[in-house]
Amino acid sequence: MERLYQLFEAVGYVHPIHPPITHLPVGLVIGAFLLGLISLLFHHQMAGRAARYCMIIAFLSIFPTVLLGYMDWQHYFAGGWLSPIKIKLVLAAVLLILAIISLVVGRGDERTSPGVAGIYALSLFTVLGLGFFGGQLVYSGKVPAGPAEFRTGEKLFRANCSSCHPYGGNIIDPKAELRGSDELKDLQTFIRWIRDPRLDNGAKGPMPPFLPARVSDAQAKELLGYIVKVMGPAKPAPECDVTIPAIVKRTEPASVAKGKQLFEANCMGCHTVFGTEGLVGPGLKGILKRKTLPFGDWPATPENIFKQLRCPYKDMPSFREKLTDEQVFDLIAFLNTQ
């Protein structure tokens, strides 16, 4: 499925694919309603038949429309259960049922009966509701207005970010607010984030990547300007108030064994040493042989690992009280062998 979106992107079509096809059932239901009304009021047979045909094609067109809607939902909203989506799914089911009822009840009738006309009217309200909540989904996320010079950024935010980050919050993962995020600290960091957003363990999360075809570097600059202006800048990382001691390098097997025990008791729930793939935190295999630490991006030195245990980068709990300096030296001795 992602291939299909890549294909569209390659030819320059970077919008959702569901909205264009929605005109099919919407237009046909409007047609059925108007023709049905004419048939009812003027006892017009041909109009009644035409109304019925409109409804048959509307019924058939619901299936591809829902399919493309489902694909957009997976692609643009990562299948997140946003309330407009729930409402749209219910309305689509209602429309399907109404269409079936109108076709069954109206079969054999040359003219539209009052009952069937009523069902056409209900179908009309249903498609209007579907359109309204579709618009809600795409446009109406909560977007605080900024000063005039940030209008472009505001529009970009409305079109791309507001559905998941209303008011700069985060409806999928309330802990990962957009407001005050580290990723807003400068343009380069921000662009790197939106092109390839990651969970804390380095895996891909529900936030979709925004490639240059969708948000160019110049647009990212406008977007960042708006976000920082209206929702506030990155909160500065708290300074580490612990002095990092000179690390005692240990290689004796007794130390390594103690370190292994400490790792199993304190770290294993969130980290593996058998690979680099993440659990809750990143995999730590060969961590001291790497250039930089995966999150902090600072050099992969024993000092910086010590620092991570005292002043963690972000979501990892601090081991300030739990592990003495001595124990951390043993842990580092163990990590060094992995």
Size of residue set near ligand HEC by CB under 6 A: 54
* Span 290-319, contacts to ligand HEC by CB under 6 A: 293-296, 305, 308-309, 312-317, 319
Per-residue binding string, ligand HEC, 137-176, x by CB under 6 A, is -----------------------xx-xxx----x-xx--x
User: 32 vs 184, which CB is nearer to ligand HEC?
Assistant: 184
| Min separation Cβ 195 and ligand HEC, Å | 10
* Span 174-213, contacts to ligand HEC by CB under 6 A: 176, 178, 181-184, 193-194, 197, 199-200, 205-208, 210
178 in Cβ contact with 157 (< 8 Å)? no
* 30 counts as binding ligand HEC under rule CB under 6 A: no
User: 42 vs 298, which CB is nearer to ligand HEC?
Assistant: 298
Phi-psi region of 173 (alpha: psi -120 to 50; beta: other; left: phi over 0): beta
Structure token pair of residue 128: 């209007």
| Min separation Cβ 213 and ligand HEC, Å | 13
Q: What are phi and psi of 198, to 5 degrees?
A: -130, 150
The rounded distance, in Å, linking the Cα atoms of 91 and 270 is 42
| Min separation Cβ 152 and ligand HEC, Å | 13
CA distances from 254 to 116, 265, 274 (A): 85, 17, 21
Amino acid occupying residue 126: T
| Min separation Cβ 30 and ligand HEC, Å | 31
The rounded distance, in Å, linking the Cα atoms of 52 and 303 is 76
User: 127 vs 176, which CB is nearer to ligand HEC?
Assistant: 176
DSSP string, 27-64: HHHHHHHHHHHHHHHHT-HHHHHHHHHHHHHHHHHHHH
The rounded distance, in Å, linking the Cα atoms of 308 and 299 is 12
Place of tokens 């990590």: 335
Which positions lie near ligand HEC, rule CB under 6 A? 77-78, 80, 160-161, 163-165, 170, 172-173, 176, 178, 181-184, 193-194, 197, 199-200, 205-208, 210, 215, 223, 266-267, 269-271, 280-282, 284, 287, 293-296, 305, 308-309, 312-317, 319, 331
